[in-house]
Every structure is written in structure tokens, then in C-alpha cells.
Structure 1
């Protein structure tokens, strides 16, 4: 299968978890904070945001292909930073709300999205990813 580049994102980090991250277009200009005390972001929050947005977009694309109209979808991405005796790693839980369709169709859509989402492909067999279908999500923000 031939692939073509659609888009290249670029971000520059300096100072690691106590530094900053900026995007080439200036849209992102974020302070990083190891303490996760609410004063700045961290890599796990950025990964959770990217994965949730990409997964939701994949669901919408697949729904359109199946002639399903979804207007109330939502994906809550949770990324855990984990540590064992040797190193650090991450684990992901995606809580997906698809209240407009029946449970069987929703589970089928979740599985298809997990097979097609670029983040799911990138993480497959590398980190644990759990998909949870929730019937109605309320923002935790």
C-alpha cells in the first residue's frame, strides 16, 4: 500500500519536564511542569489530548462511512505515567461516549476505530490501551 504524507506537525521542547514546548506556528507555547500541580502541562496531558481528539475524529469518519450521524460523541483520554523498578512507561484508557447508537453498534465502532486510529496504530503492542464505552459522558473539566 502506497502512503503519502498529509501533514507534518513540529514542536520544539527545551528543559524537559520543567521547561517549555512551542509549535512552529506559535499556536502551542506551553510551560511544562513535573509536579503536575495545575500551573503548567505535562507530556501525559498532551498525549491524552492528542489521542482523544484523534480517536474521536476516527469514530466520526467511520460513522459517516456507515451513514451514522453522531453529534453527541466524546472521548475522555486518561494517560497514566507508570514506574517499575527499571524505568517509566505509560498506559491509556479511552472513555468513549456514543449515546445516539445502540450498544452493539457502538462497540463495533469502537473496535473499528481502534484498528484505524493513527494513535492506536502507533501504540499497538507497545503500551496497554483500554477502551471503555460509556453511555453518556459529562465533562470532568
Structure 2
């Protein structure tokens, strides 16, 4: 298997530190959210995960329809990822994801079929399957 893309991001200081990608496009401070007892005012790992999850899912939808009669353009889809952080009861933590996908111009059955196919092919879904609870809702307009 050949690698299509790889990247490197360095984190310094944990949840109250900074992150920087090797190409400097990502260069951000991190902060523990106020709701977790932190000072807030900066992004956090859960927001970054939600952003990557939503963007990757949108692209998977576009990808699975690329060579089909029913194509979805990037302007036809909106994905919103809600990432939750919970305690696991054993002193550790777990994530959950609720993904709301809205696709313009399709009937509900077709949209659900496309989203199911995208979920089967995308790297984030494959990475978290069986490890993170993921709930997906699909809407059309």
C-alpha cells in the first residue's frame, strides 16, 4: 500500500500548549475549555478532530458520487460534527461523534445510500469504527 499523503504536527505543552505543522499552515495555541476548568480562548483537540471529521466526510460523499449519475458537488453538502468527550468510568476518557449531513438536491433515500457508502470508505470512519460511538443523521433539501 502506498501512502497518498502524510503530515507531521508537533504539540508542545499538552492541552495548554501549541500545535504546529511541518509546513507552518497550522500554527495554533491550545487551551483547555472553560467547561473543563480551563481558561478557554483557544482551540482544543476535540474541535480539531471535529473539523477533520466533518471535512473528510464531505469529501468522501463527493468521492463516492464522482463517477455516478447522481453527483454531489462540494457546494451541495454540509457536514456538522459534534465531538463529545466523556469519562469511561475507569479513570480514562472516550469520544463520541454525532455527524449531521445535509445534501441539497437529492431525495432522502438516495442521500442515505450515498452517506452509507461514504461512511464505508472514508479514513476517519475506518479509523474509529468499533472504538468511538458515531451517530449519523442525513437531511435533504
TM-score (norm. length: structure 1): 0.89
Q: CA deviation at 1:84?
A: 2.9
1:111-133 deviation per Cα after TM superposition (whole angstroms, max 9, x unaligned) = 10110010000001111111111
Q: Secondary structure at the match of 1:57?
A: helix
Structure 1 stretches of 4+ moved >4 Å: none
Per the alignment, residue 108 of structure 1 pairs with 113
What's 1:132 paired with? 137
- Superposed CA RMSD in Å reads 1.3
Larger displacement relative to structure 2 (32-41 or 5-14): 32-41
How many residue pairs get matched?
Answer: 134
Output one character per residue of 1:19-66: Cα deviation in whole Å (capped at 9) or x when no partner.
110000000111111125651000000000001111100100111122
Q: In 2, distance between residues paired with 1:69 and 1:109?
A: 10
Is the contact made by 2:15 and 2:31 (CA closer than 8 Å) also made in structure 1?
yes
Corresponding residue of 1:7: 5
- Normalised by the size of structure 2, how large is the TM-score? 0.89
Hey, what's the Cα distance between the residues in 2 that align with 1:103 and 1:75? 16
